[in-house]
Amino acid sequence: MRRNLILSVFFTLFISVFSIFGQAKYVFYFIGDGMGVDVVNLTETYLSDVNGERGSVSLLMTQFPVATFATTFSANADVTDSAASGTALATGKKATNGTLGLDLEGDPIETIAEKAKKAGKKVGIATTVTINHATPAAFYAHQNSRNMGYEISHDLLASGFDFFAGAGFFDAKDIYTLVEDAGYTVSKGFNDFRANARNSDKVILVHEEKSGGIPYYIDRTEQDLSLKQITEAAIDVLTRDNKKGFFLMLEGGKIDGGGHGNDGATMIKEVIDMDEAIQVAFDFYKKHPKETLIVITADHDTGGISYTGNNKIQNLQYQQYSQNELSARMNKLMEEKNNKVFWEDIKALLSETMGLWKEVPVSWKYERILRDTYENTIAKNKDDKDVNLYAENKLMAAKAKEVLNSISGLGWATGGHTNGYVPVFVIGKGQESFTHKMDNVDIPLKIIEAAKY
């Protein structure tokens, strides 16, 4: 009897130790907002053609040992929005478009991040858009509308998570006072973080201007915050004095903006930006290969991109700015010239910023499109706008982007979301559970299983 009891206790201890040793102690969960399978493929095509050899360049994420794909439909629509897809990726449950962290009856669903926190892990939520935007909010908020920025921000405070990062907040009123009162150190930019916050227990890292957004990668300067820097900062905070591990969700949030704006070069550069952040996580994985899990996916596809350019995609390398920034530079030019801007001025600007005429040959057909747009807008001092979900640009800037896209062989199905497959790339502890076609709700459940939350 005594011998059996000893054996039973030993077996229980063995199973417990094995369970702890065998779990994914460190979890990185990357979500590319709008990064459908075709977006990833197009990015690799672009990098290869710029490199001068077809198919010669691969993103780090596509080299992971598990590469599959997932469906993204929501509970009430074939084409999801970021709130419903974010909820699916955060909870393993389908939700209706527009809602965050709620089931079909309107009741809160515990998220994977909340489970990790309950399990004693440190938790980080980071993005390149606003911290209370739909996808990051889906990991800590429970609201019936993604537009309830103030209420979502209060859910952030209630979560007690250890690290947040992104482009500030929308509609959050007194949020910075509240988070500081709650014990968070607010860092404005990566240099401020390194100087004043890397040893803090709870951190909120935002762009240098509290109300300003993180620029697109294509527009960024050395002073601007990047997803790579955010990932480095998160690891600093989440590993300090921590033997229990962490859960970290990182969103490449502005891929979606490039897709909504049908801005090919901008979208591609955002994917590259996320891949650089994945490199930071992969470097961490190499130090802890038996305890780390990295999962990369997307919430949905945006834009429905296609490419029929036959080696012309490399023309996009000459685009120096997003259409948003190009629009701003056109406004500045008009201001400097007191609204007396000639066609030669616009042609010189497009040559310098988009490579048109200078590096990219422009046929008479395309020059006529650009000249007609100039004559009907800027020449008449008319403030015609091109409007998409996240931006309002000068029509001249949008038309120049369209022309470069067309010359480069890019086509778009929509300025919105599609129901196209999204990729799933995985490496690390528990990767064997991801080797099949998935639905987005499967992904967090597999992570929970691997991490034993």
Give me the number of domains the chain comprises.
2
Give burial (CB, 10 Å; 0-12/13-18/19+) of 54.
exposed
Do 47 and 192 fall within a single domain?
Answer: yes
CB of 347 within 8 A of CB of 357? Answer: yes
Q: Evaluate whether residue 29 is within a structural domain.
A: yes
Residue 29 structure tokens: 């969960």
Query: Among residues 81, 92, 85, 82, which one has the least CA distance to residue 114?
Result: 92
Instruction: Tell me, yes or no, whether 7 lies in a domain.
Output: no
What's the pTM value of the predicted model, to 2 decimals? 0.93
Structural domain for 323, as ranges:
314-408
Whether 10 is covered by a domain: the verdict is: no
pLDDT of residue 389: 63
CATH of the domain at 222: 3.40.720.10
Together in a domain, 262 and 368: no
Q: What is the pLDDT of residue 7?
A: 39
Query: Within a domain: residue 13?
Result: no
Domain assignment present for 203:
yes
pLDDT value for 22: 78
Q: Residues for the chain: how many in total?
A: 453
Residues 146, 246 share a domain: yes
Within a domain: 6: no
Q: Looking at the structure, tell me whether residues 181 and 323 fall in a common domain.
A: no
The beta strand positions in 365-446, using DSSP E, are 385-387, 392-394, 410-412, 417-418, 422-428, 438-439
Residues 302 and 318 in one domain: no
Residues 85 and 202 in one domain: yes
Q: What is the pLDDT along the chain (453 residues), one digit of tens a residue?
A: 444 434 343 433 333 344 445 799 999 999 999 999 999 999 999 999 999 988 899 999 999 999 999 999 999 999 999 999 999 999 999 999 999 999 999 999 999 999 999 999 999 999 999 999 999 999 999 999 999 999 999 999 999 999 999 999 999 888 999 999 999 999 999 999 999 888 899 999 999 865 458 999 999 998 899 999 999 999 999 999 999 999 999 999 999 999 999 999 999 999 999 999 999 999 999 999 999 999 999 999 999 999 998 889 999 999 999 999 999 999 999 999 999 999 999 999 999 999 999 999 999 999 999 999 999 999 998 878 777 766 778 999 999 999 999 999 999 999 999 999 999 999 999 999 998 999 999 999 999 999 999
The answer to whether residues 202 and 266 belong to one domain is yes
**Are 427 and 403 within one domain?**
no
Backbone angles phi and psi of 194, in degrees to 5 = -65, -35
Note whether 430 and 376 are same-domain residues.
Answer: no
Whether residues 218 and 144 share a domain: the answer is yes
Q: Tell me, yes or no, whether 93 and 209 share the same domain.
A: yes
Residues 390 and 422 placed together within one structural domain of the fold: no
Predicted pLDDT of residue 5: 39
- The identity of residue 169, as a single letter, is F
